[in-house]
């Protein structure tokens, strides 16, 4: 009976610790960014040739160039936060999440990285000091063509986004 009582006490202490500190997560507004839709500047196969000239291509490589993001962070000023780049899990036509790889280099304020469909990648951590955070990503995408099934007339597209996590 004494050991059961100790176990219950430890469980209660554990629950108290987990409920007193939790993370609040929200999608960041990026509507002030320069472009709402970004099209690839170059689209090639694994041989480096334009995709249209590569009938037996297995992969497509898309280079979007430098994409500017302007994130509204005013509601989080003065708070310790983490910002994540989120690649959606459900992308029309994509058969397997790992068939898509998105990679980026940044202008230094955020971290370089890469991820697959469904990934949430940490790109910034610190105290929010401004109403806006602006960053540039040199964005690239690699896609396995045999893992894409699109209806006729549809193009492969998705919307990645940023989330902020505040520990309270």
What residue ranges do the domains of the chain occupy? 22-167
The architecture CATH gives domain 22-167:
Sandwich (2.60)
Q: Which of 69-78, 117-126, 149-158 has the lowest mean pLDDT?
A: 149-158
Q: Give residue 21's pLDDT.
A: 57
Q: Give residue 7's pLDDT.
A: 44
- Rounded distance between C-alpha atoms, residue 163 and residue 21, angstroms: 19
**Looking at the predicted structure, is the pLDDT value of residue 8 above 90?**
no
pTM of this structure? 0.83
Please, which pLDDT band fits residue 48 given cuts at 50, 70 and 90? very high
**Looking at the predicted structure, is the pLDDT value of residue 2 above 70?**
no
Please, which pLDDT band fits residue 20 given cuts at 50, 70 and 90? very low
């Amino acid at each position: 009976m004494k050991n059961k009582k100790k176990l219950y006490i430890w469980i209660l202490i554990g629950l108290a610790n987990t409920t007193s500190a939790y993370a609040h997560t929200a999608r960041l507004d990026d509507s002030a960014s320069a472009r709402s839709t970004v099209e690839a500047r170059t689209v090639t196969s694994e041989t480096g040739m334009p995709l249209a000239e590569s009938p037996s291509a297995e992969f497509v490589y898309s280079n979007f160039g430098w994409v500017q993001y302007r994130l509204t962070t005013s509601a989080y000023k003065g708070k310790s936060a983490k910002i994540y780049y989120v690649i959606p899990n459900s992308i029309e036509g994509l058969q397997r999440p790992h068939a898509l790889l998105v990679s980026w280099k940044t202008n230094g304020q955020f971290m370089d990285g890469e991820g697959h469909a469904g990934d949430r990648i940490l790109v910034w951590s610190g105290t929010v000091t401004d109403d806006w955070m602006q960053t540039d990503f040199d964005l690239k995408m690699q896609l396995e063509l045999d893992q894409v099934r699109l209806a006729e007339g549809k193009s492969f597209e998705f919307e990645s986004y940023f989330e902020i996590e505040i520990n309270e």
